[in-house]
A and B are shown apart, each in its own frame.
Chain A
Amino acid sequence: MTAAEPADAAQRPPLVVVLCRVGLLYEALSPALAGIADVRRLPSDAGDTAGLLRWIRPDAIVVDSQEEADEAMTFAREAKAPLIQVRLRERKLLVLRNGGWEEPENGNASAEAIRNIVLGGLFGRDQ
C-alpha cells in the first residue's frame, strides 16, 4: 500500500494527519496549510496508530510524541510519506529521513517551519 496514488492526487488535495496530544498544535498548523492540504486531527494514544494510518493513507503525518512517532514510522516508511515529529517540550522538530530522525536546518517549532517541511516532503523536487 502506498500513500497517494497519482490519480487521487489530481482529484484531491494532499491529506495531512496531525496526531497530537497538544490540540493547539493542530490549531496552529491547520491555517498554515489551508488551501494547500486537507489537515485532519486524529486523537493521540487511541491505539493501533499504525493500522489507522494504513486505512486513512495520509500523504504526510505530523506527531507530537515519541510513542506516536514510533507507531507512525512503519506506515511512513511503507508509503514514503513525510513524517514530522514536533517535540514541543524540547522546542524542536525532527524529520524521518533515510530511516532515521534528522533535525532540519531552521527547524524551529513554528507552524510555518512544519508547513515548509510537509510541503517539501510532498512536492519537493529532490524527493
Chain B
Amino acid sequence: MRRTRILIADSLPIFRSGVRNLLARESDFEVVESSTFDELVREVATDCPDIALVDLELPPRGGVTAVSYLAERCSAHTIVWSFEPSRETVLRAIRAGASGYLHKEISPPGLVRSLRGVVRGEAPLARDLASLMIEALHGLEERDRARERASVLSAREREVLELVAQGARNKQVAAALEISEFTVKRHMQNILQKLGLPSRRAAAAFYRSAYEPEEVLAAAVETA
C-alpha cells in the first residue's frame, strides 16, 4: 500500500513531534518535517508531499507564503493551521491555494480524520471556520452591492467621498484636491443625491463599507 506523505511545516517542535508521533501509529501515513520556509523548499525539491500541514506563522514570512509556493511548484494539498484565525486569515490562506484550514487545538483523532479526508478529496475546514467563511462571503456580496451603487459617482466625487470617509472637513478636502470649498459642498450634495443618503456621516459609512475594510476581502472581490 502506498503511504500518504505528509509534510508538517511548523517552527514549534511540539507540533512537529506531536504530529509525527500521532501518525507513526497509523500505517497509511509517512511524515517529513520542516521548521522553516527554507527547509520546506528543500523538502519539496526532493519529493512533493501528498499533503502539507503548514503553520500560519512559519518563519520567516508566514505560512501563506509557503502555501503560494507549494501551489505553484507542487501538487500537494496544503492545509494551514493556527490558533484562533480571523476570517481574513482563513480567506487569505484559501486564496493562496490552501485546501483547508484547521485549528491547532484539533483533537488528534480529528486531525487523522481530516488528513484521510484530504486523501479522499475533501477540504478540511473546522466548523466555526466554515461559518467565518460564509460570513466573509456574505461580506463580499454586500461589498459588491455597495461598489455597484458607488459606480454612479464620478471619479472626483469618489475622491471627495474618500477624504470625507477619512474624517476630513470641507476645508481640508478642498485643500487636498486644490478646489474651492464651494465646489466640495456641491460635490457632497451630488454624492448624497446620487446615493440616496441622508447625511455626510451616512455617506462616509457607505464609502467605508464599500472600500475600506479588509484589503483581503477587497482583493477577493477583484479576483472573484
Decide if B105 is an interface residue (CB 8 Å cutoff): yes
* Interface range for B: 10 to 19
**A22 engages B105 (CB within 8 Å):** yes
Interface residues of A in 98-127 (CB under 8 A from B): 108-112
Stretch from B15-23, B128-136, B144-152, B180-188 forming part of the interface with A? B15-23
Which of chain A's residues 39-96 have a Cβ closer than 8 Å to chain B?
86, 88-89, 91
Main secondary structure on A side of the interface with B? helix
A interface residues, tally (CB under 8 Å): 20
Give B16's nearest chain A residue, CB to CB: A28
Residue on A nearest B10 in the bound complex, by CB: A24
* Interchain nearest-CB distance for B158 vs A (Å): 41
- Kindly identify, within residues 11 to 42 of chain A, every residue whose CB is under 8 Å from any CB belonging to chain B: 21-28, 30-32
Cβ contact within 8 Å between B108 and A27? yes
In the bound complex, residues from chain B placing their C-beta under 8 Å from that of A109 are 12-14
Please tell me if the beta carbons of A110 and B14 are within 8 angstroms of each other in the complex.
yes
Nearest CB of chain B from residue A122's CB, rounded to whole Å: 20
With A30-B21, A31-B21, A88-B104 known to touch, is A24 a contact of B13 (CB < 8 Å)? no
B107 within 8 A of A: yes
In the bound complex, what is the Cα–Cα distance between A89 and B12 (angstroms)? 10
Per-position 1/0 for B1-41, Cβ under 8 A of A: 00000000001111101110110000000000000000000
| A24-B14, A28-B13, A88-B12 known, 13 other contacts, Cβ within 8 Å | A21-B105, A22-B105, A24-B15, A25-B18, A26-B18, A27-B108, A28-B21, A31-B21, A86-B14, A88-B14, A88-B83, A89-B83, A91-B12
Give 21 A-B contacts (CB < 8 Å), ordered by A residue. Answer: A21-B105, A22-B104, A23-B105, A24-B14, A24-B104, A24-B108, A25-B18, A26-B18, A27-B108, A28-B13, A28-B14, A28-B15, A28-B17, A28-B18, A28-B21, A30-B21, A31-B21, A89-B83, A111-B14, A111-B17, A112-B13
